[in-house]
């Protein structure tokens, strides 16, 4: 990719007298973001294009969007790669189309956050070993699935067949093994921890999260919310350095496959109303009530 040609200011329009009309800093930051969407400029090139020093741009961009320019670019590329792989694109073509110059660059640039190789991800988790079990909890049946790295999926409901179907849909080609959690030394403590969490007791549970840098910032912030307390989407956005990112925070919550352990039920709207929840608002309210009682 020709970096220089990608730095043309988007929608520049007719030339203006810059001495008479200074561009607000926030507009320069948005301009920088659009340039990152269009190409792969270095921090120095990006600063020159928008008229800010590299250090000032780095600081202001991170404060505005919650990610440095380099992190923003890595997230964009990873998102493009994930989408292409899920749509069935050839692995090599998906890598190059997403902006990775060679297959090895996918790991150098941090896209190993896929949690598995791009080929396995495209193949629906082929080659991954996932052990899972069902357990009764204080609020119903829970399916807990784990890789060797930790819990990779939690589903709640009353129909075991439906829960298993969701797991197989998420990892259609993984090696899935249902086990008796009471007899499995690895799965047993994780199943117990999830059950205790659903009962309103805070537990520390290893998880295997697959997401972008921004999503992981949100999930890390959720796990720091004290038991029984809530934060608004806006508060979480400010906490992670992206004060205008409330909508993106809500989207990260929606993409959380290990809800409860990563407690997106503790995030509410600014007016205190519950907002949304993947398993319905009655369950969200019940979880909060149990935590407050505990």
Q: Which residues are catalytic?
A: 264
The set of residues, in sequence order, having a beta carbon less than 8 Å from that of 148 and lying 6+ positions away, is 129
**54: exposed, middle or buried (C-beta count within 10 Å: 0-12, 13-18, 19+)?**
middle
The backbone torsions φ and ψ at residue 29, rounded to the nearest 5 degrees and listed phi first, read -70, -40
* CA-closest candidate to residue 279, choices 178, 165, 171, 158: 158
Of 97, 96, 98, nearest to 75 by C-alpha is 98
Helix or strand or coil: residue 165? helix
H or E segment and range at residue 284: helix 281-293
What size, in residues, is the chain? Answer: 294
Residue 135: φ, ψ to 5°: -145, 150
If one counts every other C-beta atom within 10 angstroms of the C-beta of residue 49, the result is 19
**Residue 231: how many CB atoms within 10 A of its CB?**
19
Collapsing DSSP states into helix, strand and coil, what is residue 175? strand
Which residues touch 103 (CB under 8 Å, ≥6 apart)? 91, 92, 95, 118
Instruction: Considering only CA atoms, give the Rg of the chain.
Output: 22
Over 246-274, what HEC string results?
Answer: HHHHHHHHHCCCCECCECHHHEECCCCCC
């Amino acid at each position: 990719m020709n970096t220089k040609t990608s730095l043309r200011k988007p929608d520049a329009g007719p030339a203006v007298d810059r001495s008479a009309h200074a561009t607000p800093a926030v507009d320069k930051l948005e301009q920088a973001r659009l340039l990152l969407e269009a190409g792969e400029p270095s921090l120095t090139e990006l600063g020159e294009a928008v008229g800010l020093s590299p250090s000032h741009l780095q600081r202001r961009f991170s404060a505005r969007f919650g990610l440095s320019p380099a992190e923003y670019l890595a997230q964009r590329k990873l998102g493009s790669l994930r989408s292409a792989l899920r749509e069935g694109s050839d692995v090599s073509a998906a890598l190059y189309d997403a902006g990775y110059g060679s297959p090895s660059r996918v790991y150098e640039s941090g896209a190993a956050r896929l949690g598995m190789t791009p080929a396995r991800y495209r193949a629906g988790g082929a080659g991954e070993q996932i052990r899972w079990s069902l357990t009764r909890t204080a609020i119903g049946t829970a399916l807990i699935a784990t890789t060797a790295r930790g819990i990779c999926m939690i589903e709640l409901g009353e129909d075991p067949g439906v829960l298993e179907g969701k797991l197989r849909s998420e990892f259609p080609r993984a090696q899935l093994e249902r086990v008796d959690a009471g007899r499995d030394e690895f799965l047993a403590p994780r199943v117990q921890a999830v059950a205790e969490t659903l009962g309103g007791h805070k537990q520390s549970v290893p998880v295997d999260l697959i997401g972008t840098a921004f999503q992981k910032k949100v999930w890390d912030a959720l796990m720091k919310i004290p038991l029984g307390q809530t934060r608004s989407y806006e508060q979480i956005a400010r906490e992670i350095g992206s004060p205008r990112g409330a909508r993106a925070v809500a989207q990260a919550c929606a993409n959380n496959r290990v809800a409860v352990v990563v407690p997106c039920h503790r995030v509410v709207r600014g007016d205190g109303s519950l907002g949304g929840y993947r398993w319905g608002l009655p369950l969200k309210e019940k979880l909060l009530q149990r935590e407050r009682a505990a």
